[in-house]
Amino acid sequence: MALVAKSEGTEIKKPQRVKTPQWVSLVSGGVAGGVEAAITYPFEYSKTRVQLLDNSAIRTSNPLRLIFQVAKQEGVGALYTGCTTLIVGTTAKAAVRFVSYDTIRNSLADERGVLSPGRGMLAGMTAGAVESVLAVTPTERIKTALIDDAKGARQFKSSLHATKLLVQRHGITELYRGLVSTMMKQSATSAVRMGTYNMLKETIKAKGIKTNMFTTFGIGAVAGVVTVYATQPFDTIKTRAQGVQGAGIMEASRSVIKDYGIRGFWKGSSMRLGRLLLSGGIVFSVYEEVSAILSPGSHR
């Protein structure tokens, strides 16, 4: 309840929390997602390539070594196979994620604008489910198919060409192959990532530490590390399900165990760690800065 002080008949109320406008969340999230995807894509490429059964001459689990070898043997451009699709998808994904998260956050936060760890994870989980349906699954399907296709005799010339061929062969539902596994992965990832970020941010605020771009980058990076190891199995299953041939969740899970054993579910974690360590810092710091520019009064 807000505190009220009376002075000469005038009531002075304690300032209430200011909510972030939805359009600010949408624009800030989209910009943050696009910047993050463009900078960190080589790590995403290497992670996806390792998760797919690779019969090419390049076989290593070291992300930097794989990036170097691909650049040397196939050219630097090969590291950006499917990049356009991911940038578009990540821009849309981040925009949907942040507007969904902030909308839910505004309804779950207390009168001081504080979100409990449990509610923060719930908000993140819901946002992840929404983004998986509206943005993630189609773009991830195309990106994964392009990288899988690039290992052998290429049948796809571009993202648009891949989309056209897949729809012609199997129908529009082909773009939603792996929807369940993607939703599982995105819900878990967003719950852990947004929940961890929110918890760390509230802890820092409670200790009186002023947040800036550097502290925000650090918090986001830590949230990214936690997210990788907590949700990697979902990501591995999703990747297998969205290869060129496609697969169901059970089939994808069995293929991972057959090829690599139980530890295979964490295949590509070092590549994903490289990306999410950077992306966690980038996406949250860019989001906060753009939000502050667009709507200074609502910047948390």
End-to-end C-alpha distance for the chain, whole angstroms: 20
pLDDT at 29 exceeding the cut of 90:
yes
- Distances 199 to 96, 115, 250 between C-alpha atoms, Å: 21, 8, 34
Looking at the DSSP bridge assignments, the partners of residue 10 are 7
Q: What span, in angstroms and rounded, lies between the C-alpha atoms of 255 and 31?
A: 37
**Residue at token pair 């196939």:** 74
Q: What is the pLDDT of residues 248-300, one digit of tens each?
A: 788 888 888 888 888 888 887 877 787 778 888 999 999 999 999 998 765 54
User: Could you say which DSSP state residue 78 is in?
Assistant: G
Q: Which of 172, 142, 233 is nearest to 150 (CA)?
A: 142
The count of residues in the chain is 300
The helices-and-strands tally (H runs, E runs) of the chain is 10, 2
Which residues, including other chains, have CB under 8 Å from residue 76's CB and lie 6 or more apart?
A: none
CA 8 to chain centre: 54
Where residue 261 falls (left for φ over 0; alpha for ψ -120 to 50; beta otherwise) is left
Q: What span, in angstroms and rounded, lies between the C-alpha atoms of 59 and 66?
A: 8
Q: How confident is the model at residue 5 (pLDDT cuts 50, 70, 90)?
A: very low
Q: Which of 213, 208, 218, 219 is nearest to 288 (CA)?
A: 213
The reported pLDDT for the residue numbered 74 is 81
Q: What span, in angstroms and rounded, lies between the C-alpha atoms of 134 and 137?
A: 8
Q: Structure tokens of 279? A: 């992306």
Q: What is the pLDDT of residues 116-128, one digit of tens each?
A: 888 889 999 999 8
Which residues, including other chains, have CB under 8 Å from residue 157's CB and lie 6 or more apart?
A: none
Of 58-62, 76-80, 237-241, minimum mean pLDDT range: 58-62
Q: Which residue segments constitute the domains of the chain, with CATH numbers given? A: 23-298 (1.50.40.10)
Q: Structure tokens of 196? A: 């961890």
The reported pLDDT for the residue numbered 1 is 42
Q: Which of 121, 109, 156 is nearest to 226 (CA)?
A: 121
**Residue at token pair 């998760």:** 51
Q: What is the pLDDT of residues 204-215, one digit of tens each?
A: 988 888 888 899
Q: How confident is the model at residue 245 (pLDDT cuts 50, 70, 90)?
A: low
User: Could you say which DSSP state residue 132 is in?
Assistant: I
Q: What is the pLDDT of residues 84-121, one digit of tens each?
A: 877 887 898 889 889 999 898 888 888 777 888 888 89
Q: What is the pTM of this model?
A: 0.67
